[in-house]
Structure 1
Amino acid sequence: MQRSDTVLKQVMAAFERESHLKLQNHPIHMTFDGGALTVAGEVPDIASKKRLLQLTQVHSEGQRLVDRLRVAVNPPVGDGELRTRVCDRLVQAVDFRNCVICARVKGQLEVLRGTLDEAGNDGSGVVEVTVEDGVVTLTGQVISLSHRRLASVTAWWVGGCRDVVNLLELAPAEADGDDEISDVLQLVLETDRRVRAEQITINVENHRITLAGWVATEAEKRQAEQDAWCLDAIEGVVNHIQVRA
């Protein structure tokens, strides 16, 4: 087994080679304990977090990973405010209009829309939001993989979120695939007013997303990539979008 400092050096070198971001002001720590490798620290955004985790998996010889990476938030947002933001966004989202939306507040369940009896109805579901130390945890049940991924994107989009743990179950069960990822990312880009989805092309192969096309600014290019990284259960994002003034 490699030492954790050796893995860290390999991961950081690989990260620097493939990312425009630098992490000098965001120290990352790795420790082996009980057969697992814990990765901890703060990163500037979701893309950095997921890229670091994937590179760590590659260089850690298949060790089980414990994710303690958190996205830096400045200024910080209180757990109550963040929970309200996420719940409000879910209530307003068209794709979750048939879902029961709940919040876990100080251990107590508060139903914000619908009733729990409705959660099992056809075309329905339930999403419960818990927030602790800036980490949003989503539990409950939804009707498709797209809904499951959209719930994570919704949480990341509200601002102030340090991490999202998506524990939503599917009913009925559904096989994942490249077409599913492509379709939901297309919907995400079309929903995000910060990007022009009609100018961006999406290709997904073995759960790895490649973005192409052209946009007007570097900020728009980065936002499209961030949107892709917000999706759960993907193998990576390659951004070939060109910037044309």
Structure 2
Amino acid sequence: MQRSDTVLKQVMAAFERESHLKLRNHPVHMSFDGGALTVTGEVPDITSKKRLLQLTQRHCEGARLVDQLRVTANPSIGDGELRTRLCERLAQTAEFRNCVICARVKGQLEVLHGTMDEAGNDGSGVVEVTVEDGVVTLTGQVGSLSHRRLASVTAWWVGGCRDVVNLLELVPAEADDDDEISEALHLVLETDLRVRAEQITIKVENHRITLAGWVATEAERRLAEQDAWCLDAIDGVVNRIQVGA
């Protein structure tokens, strides 16, 4: 097995080639422990985090990957404020209107939207939010993979989030595939008012997303790609969106 510093050099070189970005002010570290490779450090955004992890998986020769990368919180906010913002955002999102939204505060569960009596009703679910050191953990249950993925993306949209651990269960169970990813991304782009979803086309093959179409600005092009990278359980994003009048 390669040494961790060799893997790190390979990954960083590939990252700079593919993204044309440099992470000199965001040091990343890797270390092998048995059959696992742990990646630690801080990166500027979710796109950089997901790209780095994807490249590391490609170069680590089958080692189990332990993700401890964090995204720089800009601006930095306290755990309580982040938790409150996220719970409010979920409660205001149409797709979670029938869900019970809870917060775990100092070990105690606080119900912020709906009632626990409604949790078992048809079409409803429960999303419990815990925040520690800027890391959001989502537990509970939802009724579709699209809702599960949208919950993660919503956490990333709230400023100050450094990572998301999505432990939401699906009830009933649902098989994941390319169509499910495409459906989730359509939902995400339609929910994100910063982009014009109708001008963006989505193709998913082997969990790899390709975006195409036209947008008005480079910022909108980057936002659409970032939304795609925010999705859980994908295998990369290719951005072929063009910027034009």
Please indicate, yes or no, whether the TM-score normalized by the shorter chain is above 0.5.
yes
Q: Residue type of the partner of 1:114?
A: G
- Once residues 32 and 157 of structure 2 are traced to their aligned partners in structure 1, the CA distance between those partners, rounded to angstroms, is 33
**Contiguous gaps of at least 5 residues in structure 1:** none
Give CA-to-partner distance per residue, 1:110-129, whole Å, 9 cap, x none: 01122223212211110000
Structure 1 distance, partners of 2:187, 2:221, is 17
Q: Distance in 2 between matches of 1:57 and 1:159?
A: 28
**Structure 2 residues without counterparts, runs of 5 or longer:** none
Kindly indicate whether residue 224 of structure 2 is the aligned counterpart of residue 224 of structure 1: yes
Counting aligned pairs with the same residue, the percent is 86
Superposed, which structure 2 residues align to 1:23-102 within 5 Å? 23-102=23-102
Instruction: Give the counterpart letter for 2:175 in structure 1.
Output: A
Return the offset for 1:133.
0.2
Question: 2:148 aligns to what SS in structure 1?
Answer: helix
The C-alpha deviation readout for 1:116-166, integer Å capped at 9, x for no partner, is 232122111100000000000000000110110010011111111000000
The 5 Å alignment of 1:181-220 reads 181-220=181-220
Secondary structure at 1:120 match in 2: coil
Distance (Å, rounded) in 2 between the aligned partners of 1:234 and 1:190? 19
Partner of 1:108: 108
Query: Could you say which residue in structure 2 is the equivalent of 1:156?
Result: 156
Q: Distance in 2 between matches of 1:153 and 1:64?
A: 25
Task: Give the superposition deviation at 1:42.
Answer: 0.7
> What whole-Å deviation, never above 9, does each CA across 1:71-91 have from its counterpart, x for those lacking one?
111221100000000000011
What is the TM-score when the length of structure 2 is the normalising length? 0.98
Could you say what secondary structure the match of 2:234 adopts? coil
Structure 1 segment 4-15 matched on structure 2, within 5 A: 4-15=4-15
User: What does the per-residue CA deviation read over 1:185-205, in whole Å, with 9 as the maximum and x for residues that have no partner?
Assistant: 112112211111111111001
Rounded to whole Å, the distance in 1 between the matches of 2:243 and 2:93 is: 30
Give per-residue Cα distances to partners, 1:21-59, cap 9 Å, x unaligned.
221211110011232111011111101101111111110
1 CA distance for matches of 2:20 and 2:178? 26
Task: Give CA deviations for 1:4-31 in whole Å, capped at 9, x if unaligned.
Answer: 0000011111111111322121111001
Please identify, of 160-169 and 192-201, the stretch whose mean Cα deviation from structure 2 is larger: 192-201
Structure 1 position 207, deviation (Å): 0.7
Question: Which has the larger displacement, 16-25 or 98-107?
Answer: 16-25
Following TM superposition, by how much is the alpha carbon of 1:184 offset from its aligned partner in structure 2, in angstroms?
Answer: 1.4
Report the aligned-residue RMSD.
Answer: 1.0
In 2, Cα distance between the equivalents of 1:193 and 1:75?
A: 21
